[in-house]
Amino acid sequence: MDKREANIMAKQPWQMVRNDWTDYKASCLCADILAGRGPWEVDKLGYHVDHVRQAYEAGLPVPAEVLADYTNERPHWRPPASKWFVSVAGDLCNTEDINCRPVRRGYAVHHAQINTARELAATLRAGEFAWPGGYRLAFITEDGELLCFKCARENFAQIARAIKDRAGDGWRIVATTNLGEQDPDEQAETCANCYAVLLPAAE
Ligand SMILES: [Zn+2]
């Protein structure tokens, strides 16, 4: 697989321009034929226009160069419910800005080290799961305990104050940890506040 092809594969259909999609579909067709499957398998991939339309109407950050392939169709599409979207890079953007300049960079991004309330907020917005992999994330407090995303969200004001004051009251979050990269212990890992099991014990 050449570099360009690898690049195409890593994208969602709605992130590819129509020409790249056609190439991608053709390569799938070749693979089907070589593998002795019928060329009909490739039909399961659907139509590019449908992928792009669905993503656009769902408010996903469809790249401008992809939308440019559908200038005739676009007036018939439902506009996204919100003009705000979070780009793949985690920046907050406005769909009405044709140049897609981020309004706020780092709006929803996972931070491994948390030094400010802003970094905590961005990590919370980016969600409880790491992609790729879908592993669960949790926070580590300065006294080495775990806090789940739910508790961090519910106690945000208190935690933000603890971060600012560099407090030693157990609420100060200092880092984000990926529980999927952790080897299970004999003891389950639980949230220090709500006792939810975040990582079950080893068998
Ligand atoms: Zn919790």
192 alpha carbon – ligand 1 mean position (Å): 7
136 alpha carbon – ligand 1 mean position (Å): 13
Residue 105 lies in a domain: no
Number of domains the chain is built from: 2
Highest-confidence segment of 4-13, 17-26, 77-86, 187-196: 187-196
155 alpha carbon – ligand 1 mean position (Å): 10
How much is the mean pLDDT over the chain? 83
Q: Are 82 and 124 members of one domain? A: no
Query: Backbone phi, then psi, for 66, in 5-degree steps?
Result: -75, -45
Domain boundary, last residue among 63, 94, 125? 94
Q: Are 8 and 81 members of one domain? A: yes
198 alpha carbon – ligand 1 mean position (Å): 9
Q: How many CB atoms lie within 10 A of CB 107?
A: 20
Q: What is the pLDDT of residues 67-103, one digit of tens each?
A: 999 999 988 998 777 777 777 677 887 767 666 677 7
Residue 149 lies in a domain: yes
45 alpha carbon – ligand 1 mean position (Å): 40
- The better pLDDT of the pair 87, 121 is held by 121
Q: Are 172 and 163 in contact (CB under 8 A)?
A: yes
Residue 21 confidence class, pLDDT cut points 50, 70, 90: confident
Identity at 103, one-letter amino acid code: V
Residue 99 lies in a domain: no
Residue 30 lies in a domain: yes
Q: Are 87 and 137 members of one domain? A: no
Residue 112 lies in a domain: no
The parent domain of residue 74 ranges over 3-94
The answer to whether residue 28 scores a pLDDT higher than 80 is no
Write down the pLDDT at residue 1: 44
The answer to whether residue 3 scores a pLDDT higher than 60 is no
Placement of tokens 């099991």 in the chain: 197
Residue 44 confidence class, pLDDT cut points 50, 70, 90: low
Domain boundary, last residue among 45, 63, 94? 94
Residue 51 lies in a domain: yes
Q: Are 86 and 142 members of one domain? A: no
Q: Are 179 and 135 in contact (CB under 8 A)?
A: yes
36 alpha carbon – ligand 1 mean position (Å): 51
Kindly tell me the burial class for residue 99, based on how many C-beta atoms sit within 10 Å of its own C-beta (0-12, 13-18, 19 or more): exposed
Q: Are 55 and 48 in contact (CB under 8 A)?
A: no
Q: Are 71 and 129 members of one domain? A: no
Q: Are 80 and 121 members of one domain? A: no
Average pLDDT over residues 99-117: 85
The answer to whether residue 8 scores a pLDDT higher than 50 is no
Residue 100 lies in a domain: no
Residue 109 lies in a domain: no
